[in-house]
Structure 1
Amino acid sequence: MLLLNGHLLPTAPLALPNRGFTFGDGFFETLILVGGRLRFGAQHFARMQAAAAALYLELPEALASAEQLEQEMTRLATANELPAARIRLQIWRAGGGLYTPETSSVEWLATAVPYVPNVAPIARAAFAQDTYAIYSPLSFCKGPQAWIYVRAARERQQRGFDELLLLSGAGHVAETVSAAIFWIQNAQLFTPALSAGCVAGVRRAHLLQVARQQGIECHETLAFPNELHQAEAVFSANVAGIRWIKQLSTVCWETEHPLLSQLRHWEAQP
């Protein structure tokens, strides 16, 4: 079952014109729902609001609050008999037209598959060579610049690495192919600033919030690769899990850093 504009359906053809298809005029969220509770729901909804505002879109009534978002996604998971679901929520501008839109109203589609956590360490990572992160008014949300991550994923596959880290055009570390990047140095937590062109990840936001609540000094910074090579630990984080990197280029870390283990513990607290 899927949810199309709030209607549970076994399948549904998408009518044309479709501005999401023709112009990429929209965005998406990847959500995890377990036991009827949406993980990082507040962070997802805040990013949805920001993305809608940046694209001059109006969120529909069914998705107008974090609570309503959770209710709709629970309907979908229940209909698919999924106690733990990974949900793709796609939102695009309704109507047709050329570049100039005819409306700020949207259509939306949500689909669900079983949620499988991914917390395994990343054995081998490197920096991307052929694709760069690009800062824009929309780089913080998911969808408008998806081609970057498709290219980076293809490069990762061709070069035979488990993960790639993207740099900005200025050479600053931005993110991995599908996750935020963090590193630890002197009991402090570092992650790239959004101005590097990275997505404003919901797990990124939550980890920073938790770390600061525990008194950990956090930095959102513009950093070059050598700063990660010199770090005590490097790890990635997205809705599917937190993964520490065992090798980045020629630098190796043999065990998970104690502060990362603490972050996992703190984040798991209700």
Structure 2
Amino acid sequence: MINYNGSLISEDELQLTHQNRAFKYGDGIFETIKVQNNKIIFLEDHYFRLMASMRMLRMKIPMKFTLEFLEEEINKVITSYDSQLLRVRVNVYRKDGGLYTPATNEIDYLIEVKEIKATSKETYKVDLYKDFYNYSGLLSTVKTTNRILNTVAAIYAKENDLDNCILLNERKGVAEVTNGNIFVVKGNVIKTPSLSEGCIKGIIRKKVIEIIEKHPDFTIEETNISPFELQKSDEVFITNAIIGVQAITNYRKKEFKTEISKKIKKSLSLMTITS
């Protein structure tokens, strides 16, 4: 079942028209949210990011679209699943009509759910994707439905027996990976690309930064990172809402340790329990 504008319908019943703006122009945004043991993880953070993205893209936010409303709409769908681990995708897009200039700024929403299994891997290989760039700027921090760069990079990864690809910005600095943010560990300094580098404003990115800021042995830097630094680092890990923290074990001929990423993953797990 899916939730389409508040109504529960089957996937077969959903009918989007040829005027759908997310389809025609990528005029939509989405949130990917993890549900574990019927608990919606970091819902408040996802809600406020969704609201900020809607305002940034000049969508009209309905008065009813409160945090409590979103929670109720998600619960409508997840209650029909018995799985302990679910992926919820909340899609918001402008209503049909118009060309580049929309006929209205009012929105439709669609909430879909998928059962998932264990998400972490012991061995995780990555490489750079250099065919196209993830351009820096605030628009790149928003999870829009236009993810063509991520798609072609994911295809490249599959064709080359990789688990993921690292995306670069137009200055050839590290921006993110195809499905999340990236962190680089060297000594007691942990770096992650700043938002001005073109990375998604990730929820787990935010939580990991909070964990590192409170840790007495490490410092966090939001900055620019060159691909050269990857070769010299002690550890590299990635983050997103579903996997949490995934250690990278292999980058080209470089093999990384995983001790620090495992500690951060454990701290994140404790944070999800108390959220």
Normalising by structure 1, report the TM-score.
0.91
> Residues of 2 paired with 1:38 and 1:55: CA distance?
26
> Residues of 1 paired with 2:63 and 2:122: CA distance?
40
Where does residue 249 of structure 2 map in the other structure? 246
1:212-227 correspondence runs (5 A): 212-215=213-216, 216-227=218-229
User: How far does the alpha carbon of each residue in 1:137-195 deviate from its partner, in whole angstroms, 9 at most, with x for none?
Assistant: 42112224401101111211222222211111111001111121111122222111112
Instruction: Note the C-alpha offset of 1:62.
Output: 5.1
Where does residue 2 of structure 1 map in the other structure? 2
> Residues of 1 paired with 2:221 and 2:162: CA distance?
28
1:47-126 correspondence runs (5 A): 47-61=49-63, 63-65=65-67, 67-126=68-127
Where does residue 185 of structure 1 map in the other structure? 186
The letter for the 2-side match of 1:46 is F
Look up the SS of the partner of 2:3 in the other structure.
Answer: strand
Contact 1:119–1:240 under 8 Å retained in 2: no
> Residues of 2 paired with 1:209 and 1:68: CA distance?
27
Contact 1:130–1:155 under 8 Å retained in 2: no
Where does residue 236 of structure 2 map in the other structure? 234
Where does residue 210 of structure 1 map in the other structure? 211
The letter for the 2-side match of 1:121 is E
Contact 2:138–2:196 under 8 Å retained in 1: no
> Residues of 2 paired with 1:46 and 1:129: CA distance?
33
User: How far does the alpha carbon of each residue in 1:226-258 deviate from its partner, in whole angstroms, 9 at most, with x for none?
Assistant: 1121111001111122211111122112x422x
Instruction: Note the C-alpha offset of 1:124.
Output: 2.1
Look up the SS of the partner of 2:204 in the other structure.
Answer: helix
Of 204-213 and 80-89, more deviation after overlay is shown by 80-89
- % same residue: 25
> Residues of 1 paired with 2:71 and 2:190: CA distance?
30
The letter for the 2-side match of 1:76 is V
Contact 1:180–1:237 under 8 Å retained in 2: yes
Normalising by structure 2, report the TM-score.
0.90
Contact 2:246–2:261 under 8 Å retained in 1: no
Instruction: Note the C-alpha offset of 1:2.
Output: 0.6
The letter for the 1-side match of 2:255 is C
Look up the SS of the partner of 2:157 in the other structure.
Answer: helix
1:23 aligns with 2:40: no
Could you tell me which runs of 5 or more consecutive residues in structure 1 were left unpaired when the two chains were aligned: none
Where does residue 195 of structure 2 map in the other structure? 194
Contact 1:32–1:115 under 8 Å retained in 2: no
Where does residue 176 of structure 1 map in the other structure? 177
Look up the SS of the partner of 2:268 in the other structure.
Answer: helix
Look up the SS of the partner of 1:227 in the other structure.
Answer: helix
> Residues of 2 paired with 1:169 and 1:221: CA distance?
15
The letter for the 1-side match of 2:253 is T
Contact 1:33–1:74 under 8 Å retained in 2: no
* RMSD of aligned residue pairs (Cα, Å): 1.8
The letter for the 2-side match of 1:21 is F
1:14 aligns with 2:25: no
> Residues of 2 paired with 1:166 and 1:187: CA distance?
25
The letter for the 1-side match of 2:5 is N
Look up the SS of the partner of 1:139 in the other structure.
Answer: helix
Would the alpha carbon gap of residues 61 and 113 (structure 1) be closer, same or farther in structure 2, given more than 3 Å must change? farther
> Residues of 2 paired with 1:240 and 1:233: CA distance?
21
> Residues of 1 paired with 2:249 and 2:82: CA distance?
37
The letter for the 1-side match of 2:38 is G
